[in-house]
Structure 1
Amino acid sequence: MKLLTEQKHELEGLTVHTIQTAKYKTNTFILKLNAPLDKKTVTMRALLPYVLQSATESLPSTTKLRTYLDELYGATLQVDLTKKGDNHDITIRIDIANEKYLKDSTPLLQKALALLGDILLKPAVEGDSFLKDIMTKEKRSLRQRIQAVFDDKMRYANLRLVEEMCKEEPYSLHVNGQIDDVEEITGESLYAYYQQVLKEDAIHLYAIGDLQVEEVLQTVKETFTLPKREQKDIEDSITSKDISKVNEVVEKQEVKQGKLNIGYRTNVVYGDRQYFALQVFNGIFGGFSHSKLFINVREKASLAYYAASRVESHKGLLMVMSGIDAKNYDQAVTIIKEQMQEMKQGSFTDGEIAQTKAVIHNQLLETVDTPRGLVEVMYHNELTGKDISIDEYLKHIDAVSKQEIIKVAEKIEMDTIYFLTGTGGEENGEN
C-alpha cells in the first residue's frame, strides 16, 4: 500500500515538495525555515513569523491582509514555532479552497502562493525597519506567550526539566525565547536578523492537494526570488551525555499539585535502526492509556492525577510527566523506576506489544490524515537526511521484536528528576 508520493524539486535555494492527492478539498502550502537554536537570536526568531504574517508591502496592515484572506474564499494563514532537536523551526501555512470545486475560476492556487511569497519576501517595512505599531503589538503578544508557560505549571515543569537536563546545550532554550530579551528588540534589529534568515536558513516549501505540479513550480519560480544564499547545513543535535549522577532538582512555588517530571537519555534518534523499537517501547512504558505508567502509577497506586511519557525524536530524550501530591514523591519515583526496570527485563506481554503497535498505526494514520500532520511526519526526513516513507515507517514498527524493545530499553539512562512542589508542605488537589 503506497499511501502518498512526495516529489522534491530544487529551485534557486528553495526545496519544493509536491504531494498530489485528491484526499483534501483544499490546497495547503507550508513553508518551513530551519536554523540552529541560538541564545543570541532565539527571541528574535520567535517574534519574526508573527511580524511577517501581520502585513505585507501590498497589504500594509493586519486588517487589510485578513480581509484579503477572506476574499480568497476564507483562506487561512497560520504561523508556528517548534524545536526539533537543537534546531529552531519557523512554519508559515496557508490553506485555501481548491478552485476545481468552485463555480468560478479564480486562480486561488496562484494567489495563495503569491501571498506566501509576499509574506516571506515582501513584508511591510519602513526603510530597513519593520513597522513600529506591528512591532509593539507582536512584542506584547510574545511576552504573553512566554508568560503563559510560567502560568501553566504542567508546561512550566517540562520547561524546567529541559533547562536542568540540557544546561550546556542549545535545546535548553525555550521555543518562544527569553522574556528579558523582548524589550530590546527593535524594528531595525529584527529586520537585520530577517535578512540573515533569508540568506542562511534551510527553506522548504510543501504543496499538498489535488494540484498540477508544473503549475506549482512555475508559480513558485515567479513569486519566490530569494537573495543570494549562503545556506547553512542543518546541524546534528547533541544526543548523548556522560551521566555520573542523576541530577535531582526540587523547586517550590504556590502550587496545589506537585509536578514530577523525569528526563532520560535514550541514545537513539530518528533514523537510527533502533528508533522504531524506541517508539514501541515508549507506547508500552508511558505513551498510551494501556501503558505501565498509566496503569501502575495512576490507576493501581492512585499516586498521580496523570502519568505519561513522550519521546523527543531528534534529541534522544524521553520525558516522564506526572502530577502528584507532595507526600507521594518518594513512592512515585520508586514506582516509575520500577516500570523502567520491568521494561529492561522484558516484563511485558506479546499482547501489550501488539496493542501498542496497533495504536501507533492508528496514531500515525490519523496524523497524516491532515496536510499539516503529513508535513510534520515527512519533515523528519529533511532534518536527518533520511528517506523513510510512511509505509516503510509502519512496516518497521510491525517488525519490532520483544528482544529489540529490551535492547533499546537497556540504552536508556536516567538523567534528571525535577519536582515542582508547594511551599506549605503536603498539598492536595489540582492546579
Structure 2
Amino acid sequence: MDHGFKRERISDTIHFSHITDTKFKSNRISVCLITKLSPEKAAVNAVVPNILRLGCKSCPDFTALNRRLGRLYGARLYGDVTKYADKQILVVSIKGLDSRVTIHGEDMVRELSSLLCDIVLDPVIENGAFPEGATALERQNLIDTIESEINDKRVFARARCLELLFGGAPQAVRPYGDVEHAKAITPRSAYEAYCGLLKNARIELLFAGSGDPAAAKETLCARFAALDRPQAAPLGQPESAPAAGGIAQQTEPMDVSQSKLVMGFWCGDTDEQERYALRLMSAMYGGTPSSKLFLNVREKLSLCYYCASRYDKGNNILLVDSGVQAEKKEAAQAEILRQLEAIQNGEFTDEELQNTKLAMNTGFAATTDSLAGIESWYLTQILSGGENAPAYEQAKIAAVTRGQVVAAAKKVTLGAVYFLKENGEHKEESKQ
C-alpha cells in the first residue's frame, strides 16, 4: 500500500516526516540524530540514546519514568544505534497506543510526543554531566554489545572485511565504536557528546502509525526548532570511497571452530536503475535458497557451511561471506568467483530470474509488518535521497531485465578478501 509518506522541512538541518498505516492500533515516534562516523566519537555517541531513555527532569529516575509510561497504557521507550554508509544514526523512540483505541479518548499522540521531547531535550544533569549511575550502566552495556559482536565471528569477519575494503574511510567504522573508546567514556564526556549532537547532528523526526501526526508535528517541531544549531550542516548524500587499486587481502588466525571467508566487491559507478539491477543480481547470486552460491558452492560442492551475498546500497558494494574449513578456502574462493562470472556471462535461466524476483517480493512485503520496519525503510530512503514506498521499489525490481542484470554484474570487481582462519586449537566442529 501507499503509506502516505510526507517529509517537511523545519529548518535546513531538521525535518519532520510521517508515514500513515491504518492497519496498526499504535504509533511510533522517533528522534534520529545523524552524524559522520568517527573512530574517536562513535562509542561515546553510541552511549547517548540509552542514557537518555533512563529518565528526564520530569521523570528523574527509572521508577518515575516507568510509572508515567504505565499511565500511557504501557508505552515503550527504545534507544538504538545503526549506520548507513558513512553516517552514524542515533535513535530514541517511543511507541504507544493511538488515541482512537484508548478508554477515555486521551490525546496519546501529544502525550507521547511531549514525553519523547522531555527525554531527548531535558535529561537529568548533575554538575554539568550525566548521572554517574546511568553512565556506568550504559557504558558497560555498550562494552558488552561491542564484545558480543566480536564474539559473533560471522559479524566480526564482515566488519574486518569492511575495514580492509575502505581503509581509514568513515564507512569502515563500526556503529558502536570500539571497546577501548567505550571504556574511556565518563559522565562528562557522554554529556559533551550529547551537547555536540544537539548542536551539530542532522535531525530527522519521524512519526509512523495509524494516528493523526498533527499533534506530533506541532509538539516536536516547536521544541526542536528552538535549539541553537549554528554549526549544523544539511544532510548530504553518502560520500563515495574510491576503490583502491588491486585486491586487499588479510588472513587472521584465531581460536575459532570454523574459518570465515569474506570477500568485498566494488560495484563501480552506477545510476539508480543500475542499483536495482545490482540488488536483483546479488539476490540471484547468493541471497536466496535458490541462489547460485547456495545451490552450487554450499549444496553441490560442499565447499562451505554457509555462503551468502548481500548488496550494500549505501556504500554501493557487495559482500560475500561464508563459513569454511581452512583447507577448502582456496577452492571456495575460486568457486565464488566462478559463480559471479557465470552471471556476468548470462549463465542463468529465466526461471532463476523470476524466482529471485518473487523471493524479493516477499522481503518487500515484510518491511511493512511492523512500525519499526516501516520507519527503518523510510529513514533509509531519506538517507539515500529518495521517498519511495516499498511497492514502488518492488515494481522497479520486477522491471529489471536479463540484460540489465548481466550489465550490472560486469561492473562488480573484487576489492578485498578477509580470511579468519581457525588455528587448530579449537577442536569442536560447528556448522552454520
Same fold at TM > 0.5: yes
Find the aligned partners of 1:408 and 1:77 in 2 and give their Cα distance: 42
Q: Deviations over 1:258-303 (max 9, x none)?
A: 111111111357x722111011101100111111111111110112
Find the aligned partners of 1:36 and 1:226 in 2 and give their Cα distance: 23
Structure 1 residue 73, shift from structure 2 partner = 1.3
Correspondence 1:143 to 2:156: no
Greater Cα offset, 145-154 or 276-285: 145-154
Greater Cα offset, 238-247 or 373-382: 238-247
Correspondence 1:28 to 2:16: no
User: Which one-letter code corresponds to 2:247 in the other structure?
Assistant: V
Distance 1:205 1:426, change over 3 A: closer
Give the secondary-structure state (helix, strand or coil) at the position aligned to 2:206.
strand
Find the aligned partners of 1:361 and 1:402 in 2 and give their Cα distance: 18
Gaps of 5+ in 1: none
Structure 1 residue 49, shift from structure 2 partner = 0.9
Correspondence 1:5 to 2:4: yes
RMSD of aligned residue pairs (Cα, Å): 1.9
Gaps of 5+ in 2: none
Q: Deviations over 1:222-261 (max 9, x none)?
A: 5445412232133443435344322221111111111111
The TM-score, its normalising length taken from structure 2, stands at: 0.94
Find the aligned partners of 1:297 and 1:428 in 2 and give their Cα distance: 23
Correspondence 1:303 to 2:303: yes
Greater Cα offset, 180-189 or 77-86: 180-189
Write out aligned runs for 1:328-339 (5 A): 328-339=328-339
User: Which one-letter code corresponds to 2:161 in the other structure?
Assistant: L
Give the secondary-structure state (helix, strand or coil) at the position aligned to 2:305.
strand
Q: Is contact 1:76-1:96 (8 Å) kept?
A: yes
Structure 1 residue 203, shift from structure 2 partner = 0.9
Find the aligned partners of 1:75 and 1:93 in 2 and give their Cα distance: 10
Q: Tell me which residue corresponds to 2:92.
A: 92
Write out aligned runs for 1:296-375 (5 A): 296-375=296-375
Q: Is contact 2:26-2:211 (8 Å) kept?
A: no
Find the aligned partners of 2:77 and 2:165 in 1 and give their Cα distance: 35
Find the aligned partners of 2:227 and 2:65 in 1 and give their Cα distance: 24
Find the aligned partners of 1:20 and 1:58 in 2 and give their Cα distance: 30
Structure 1 residue 323, shift from structure 2 partner = 0.7
Correspondence 1:246 to 2:247: yes
Q: Is contact 2:262-2:319 (8 Å) kept?
A: yes
Q: Is contact 1:326-1:425 (8 Å) kept?
A: no
Q: Tell me which residue corresponds to 1:377.
A: 377
Structure 1 residue 427, shift from structure 2 partner = 6.9
Q: Tell me which residue corresponds to 2:198.
A: 198
Distance 1:119 1:379, change over 3 A: same
Write out aligned runs for 1:80-159 (5 A): 80-159=80-159
Q: Deviations over 1:174-218 (max 9, x none)?
A: 111111112332222222221121122111111122222333323
Find the aligned partners of 2:205 and 2:15 in 1 and give their Cα distance: 6
Structure 1 residue 384, shift from structure 2 partner = 2.8
Aligned residue pair count: 429
Give the secondary-structure state (helix, strand or coil) at the position aligned to 1:416.
strand
Greater Cα offset, 31-40 or 64-73: 64-73
Structure 1 residue 106, shift from structure 2 partner = 2.8
Find the aligned partners of 2:228 and 2:245 in 1 and give their Cα distance: 47
Give the secondary-structure state (helix, strand or coil) at the position aligned to 1:274.
helix
Q: Is contact 1:239-1:267 (8 Å) kept?
A: no
Greater Cα offset, 302-311 or 63-72: 63-72
Distance 1:132 1:225, change over 3 A: farther
Q: Tell me which residue corresponds to 2:420.
A: 420
User: Which one-letter code corresponds to 2:19 in the other structure?
Assistant: I
